[in-house]
Chain A
């Protein structure tokens, strides 16, 4: 029953494997093998749903012990939720579902030999590979902004240490300071999130640093949910949040890390705290493996989520070109379920039905004021198209908004359980 450990992971140390000593679900002789790279929302969902078939050996490669969700991380920044409450481990996937979790970084994909190399040098064979590589930052768009600069002017667009850094800066900021958010160009992870962040930090300022201001320097001329945000900012935080579109500033050109200022074509803005969210592209491994096109994102078949560039490799989540689907956790989860069904069908002959692709986002304007959107999609040729799209309206009752905020909290609990078990 434990021979699978030696057979498949002979090159790995025991510590690298987070699995049961005697897994209940034996890894079978000759069962198809799926390797999943990336333990975020897309990867964990695929791993869990594939392992649930009990007909496939699933290995999840993820170097971090815990995944900290980007969604809800602005509640942490505003002091409304602990960072620990946003962290999720892989114990349930390993212990209950028999997923072999390899706590290492994947370093290379060999699409011909069909193996994935990890840091320790081991090569893991696969019949099908699923990547959920997430995003990487394009550090060439804003002069002077790079990895080192992000330690002074955090992006906090991957939750974890970056979020903690930004929270510390906000806490130590003097009342009356200006908090600058640089909002990225499309497409980027979680379209309403920079503006939700502005809303929740304004809530924090209103209580503790009421003379402070928030300035959003946007690379765009409009943004997701704009009417709802602008209505809420006027109601909850009058005079506190200013949004400057690209057409006003001429676009963001550079940062001066020492002066903690952001330069635009039209002038420079000094910040007490700066949150610079750069332009984004598919995660590093996807680009290295040749899974991206000239856009920097990964083209996929919209029904089975297989790469159109390399056979037997599937992709889900923020890194893909998802047509009308936004880059969101819910989209990643929905794509992952469709992908799991498709991969299982390909490997075991199980039936497959047209996928139901869906996205829903809860967005906080204040702790008791949230809005929601919901969209269903269908694959259409090589694209994914919106069928129906609904969003909360300006002027809804306070009670409706309170209920939506309550739903958001329930949603977080159900959703993270659906993903991580």
Chain B
């Protein structure tokens, strides 16, 4: 699969990885020879979800809009000591962490405020989004 060979780790979380319908991602990757500089732009297209992109209710771009907030701090160059990379984490792990931050079980002023700002639905959808984007971008 072309998508699997895309070095996502070289481009940052979320906005570059923002939603493109998954079936299209593969074809874009296959179709473009020198895609590296282009890919980010293309895959970002869904961030604001364009008319006619075929988005359904669960895929309407709200998750990407929320994930854009994550991108203000979580980049591809994070570290365990500092701010970790979150793209590609398991969905359930993200959900669990956000819930723990929300109730203050895990200490972090920043993540406490973030988690409190998300409704349960938003929390679930952004977790799904981040997990899926990471998978699309994992090296083989």
Using a CB–CB distance below 8 Å, which chain A residues touch chain B? 24-25, 48-49, 51-55, 95-98, 330, 333-334, 337, 340-341, 344-345, 348-351, 353, 356, 358, 360, 372-376, 387-392, 400, 403, 406-411, 413-415, 417-418, 421
Tell me the bound Cα distance from A353 to B121 in angstroms. Answer: 13
Q: Give 17 A-B pairs besides A410-B79, A415-B73 with Cβ atoms closer than 8 angstroms.
A: A24-B38, A52-B18, A55-B48, A97-B40, A97-B41, A356-B118, A360-B72, A360-B113, A372-B110, A390-B110, A400-B107, A407-B82, A409-B82, A410-B82, A411-B73, A411-B82, A414-B78
- Chain B residues whose CB sits within 8 angstroms of the CB of A52 once the complex forms: 15, 18, 41, 44-45, 47-48
> What separation, in Å, do the CA atoms of A51 and B68 have in the docked complex?
14
Q: Across the interface, name the chain B residue whose C-beta is closest to A337.
A: B68
Verify if B71 is at the interface (C-beta below 8 Å from A). yes
* B71 contact set on A, CB distance < 8 A: 414, 418
Chain B residues within 8 Å of A, Cβ to Cβ: 12-13, 15, 18, 37-38, 40-42, 44-45, 47-51, 55, 60-62, 65-66, 68-69, 71-79, 81-83, 107, 109-114, 116-118
CA distance A358 to B114 in the complex (A): 8
**Cα–Cα distance between A391 and B55 once the two chains are bound (Å):** 39
CB < 8 Å: which of B48, B75, B109, B110 contacts A350? B48
Of listed B78, B79, B117, residue having the most chain A CB within 10 A: B117
Report Cα–Cα, A407/B75, bound state, in Å.
12
Given A52-B41, A407-B82, A414-B12, decide whether A348 and B51 contact each other with a Cβ distance below 8 A. Answer: yes
Contacts of A348 in B (CB 8 A): 48, 50-51
Q: Report the Cα distance A55→B53, complex, angstroms.
A: 12
CB <8 Å contact, A417 and B40: no
In the A-B complex, list the 8 residue pairs whose CB atoms are closest, starting with the nearest: A414-B75, A410-B82, A52-B44, A374-B113, A390-B109, A376-B117, A410-B83, A374-B110
Please determine whether B117 and A387 come into contact, CB atoms closer than 8 angstroms. Answer: yes
Q: Is the CB–CB distance between A360 and B61 below 8 Å?
A: no
Q: Which residues of A contact B83 (CB under 8 A)?
A: 407, 410-411, 414
Chain A proximity of B1: nearest CB distance (Å):
23
Q: Which of A52, A353, A403 has the most CB of B within 10 A?
A: A52
Number of A-B contacts (CB under 8 A): 153
Contact yes or no, B72 A53, CB < 8 A: no
Q: CA of A259 to CA of B55 in the docked complex: distance in angstroms? A: 67
How far is A389 from B69 in the complex, measured between Cα atoms in Å?
17
Other-chain residue from A96, A341, A360, A388 in contact with B65 (beta carbon distance below 8 A): A341
Contact B114 A340 (CB under 8 A): no
With a CB–CB cut-off of 8 A, which chain A residues contact B44?
52-54, 97
**Contact yes or no, B62 A413, CB < 8 A:** no
Question: Residues of B contacting A391 with CB < 8 Å?
Answer: 109
Closest chain A residue, CB of each to CB of B40: A96
Min C-beta distance of A122 to chain B, whole Å: 26
28 contacts between A and B (CB under 8 A): A24-B38, A52-B15, A52-B47, A53-B44, A53-B47, A53-B48, A54-B42, A55-B48, A95-B37, A96-B40, A345-B48, A348-B51, A349-B51, A351-B49, A356-B65, A374-B111, A376-B114, A387-B117, A391-B109, A392-B109, A403-B81, A406-B81, A408-B82, A410-B79, A414-B12, A414-B74, A417-B12, A421-B40
Contacts of A49 in B (CB 8 A): 15, 47-48, 68
